[in-house]
């Protein structure tokens, strides 16, 4: 049965094929072998691009499939900072989402993020995506209350304990006011943006490991704000 899919990454595989990492409409990530990619005018080669909604059929068992009947449905053209941000989003999904595991709402989150990147300020879009992804993967934190169940104090400061939550700490790096702004999706303040960037990196770090993200380096070299 045909279903929607996005290409997160692809690389050459054997003589005329590519190995693609796909995000599927059923909220799972799979690997897929795509044959018939060698010819420069190959329809499949033209279709298997990032940020393009595809309709395809998959065959095979396990988390490595064979992709067939590939059609382009919608393209999300990204340029400049939005393009690098899109690569970052794709890399996060590859690093954090295991193959073959359904993550509720992931496909819709990704689609909404691409639409927002193509028409909005990049930085808040990335923070929303990071926070939403962490919640869907089970390691988000409550931005309204600390680990003791107490409402955050706008004048207080907090420390982040990954996978546990926020702890009141007068020397903590995160002001309550900024955390509450993040919870309310308010991004006008530059301090809130800076703090949110630091916070999301700290939240993701235990799950990304020591291997640097290639997209962050590309973004930095391009002068982006990721």
Q: What is the domain partition of the chain in residue ranges?
A: 3-75, 80-221
Angle (nearest 5°) at CA 147 between 144 and 150: 55
Nearest to 36 by CA among 54, 18, 23: 18
- Between the alpha carbon of residue 138 and those of residues 20, 49, 134, 171, 224, the distances in Å are 26, 30, 6, 27, 29
For position 225, what pLDDT does the model report?
A: 53
Determine the topology of domain 3-75 in CATH: OB fold (Dihydrolipoamide Acetyltransferase, E2P) (2.40.50)
- Contact 70/48 with Cβ under 8 angstroms? yes
Q: Cα–Cα distance between 99 and 72 in angstroms, integer? A: 23
| 212 pLDDT tier (thresholds 50, 70, 90) | confident
- The pTM for the full model equals 0.92
- Mean pLDDT check: name the lowest of 12-16, 77-81, 147-151, 217-221: 217-221
List, for residues 72-123, the tens digit of each pLDDT value.
999 999 999 999 999 999 999 999 999 999 999 999 999 999 999 988 799 9
Burial of 27-45, coded b for 16+ CB within 10 Å and e otherwise, reads bbbbbbbbbebeeeeeebb
Q: Which CATH architecture has domain 80-221?
A: Up-down Bundle (1.20)
pLDDT confidence of residue 161: 94
Q: Is there a contact between 199 and 182 (Cβ–Cβ < 8 Å)?
A: yes
Q: What mean pLDDT comes out for the span 156-181?
A: 96
- In the prediction, which pLDDT does 133 show? 98
Residue 63 has pLDDT above 80, yes or no: no
């Amino acid at each position: 049965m045909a279903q929607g899919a996005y290409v997160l990454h692809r690389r050459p595989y054997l003589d005329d094929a590519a190995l693609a990492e796909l995000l599927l409409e059923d909220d799972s990530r799979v690997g897929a072998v795509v044959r018939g990619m060698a010819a420069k005018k190959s329809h499949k080669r033209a279709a298997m691009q990032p940020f393009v909604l595809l309709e395809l059929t998959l065959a095979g068992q396990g988390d490595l499939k064979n992709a067939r009947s590939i059609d382009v449905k919608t393209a999300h053209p990204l340029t400049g900072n939005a393009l690098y941000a899109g690569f970052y989003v794709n890399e996060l999904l590859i690093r954090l989402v295991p193959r073959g595991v359904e993550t509720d709402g992931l496909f819709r989150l990704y689609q909404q993020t691409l639409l927002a990147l193509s028409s909005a300020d990049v930085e808040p879009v990335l923070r929303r995506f990071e926070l939403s992804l962490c919640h869907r993967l089970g390691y988000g934190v409550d931005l309204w209350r600390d680990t003791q169940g107490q409402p955050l104090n706008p004048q207080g400061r907090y420390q982040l304990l990954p996978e546990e939550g926020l702890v009141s700490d007068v020397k903590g790096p995160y002001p309550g006011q900024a955390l509450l702004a993040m919870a309310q999706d308010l991004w006008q303040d530059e301090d809130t943006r800076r703090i949110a960037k630091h916070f999301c990196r700290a939240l993701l770090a235990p799950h990304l490991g020591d291997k640097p993200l290639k997209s962050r380096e590309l973004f930095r070299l391009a002068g982006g704000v990721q």
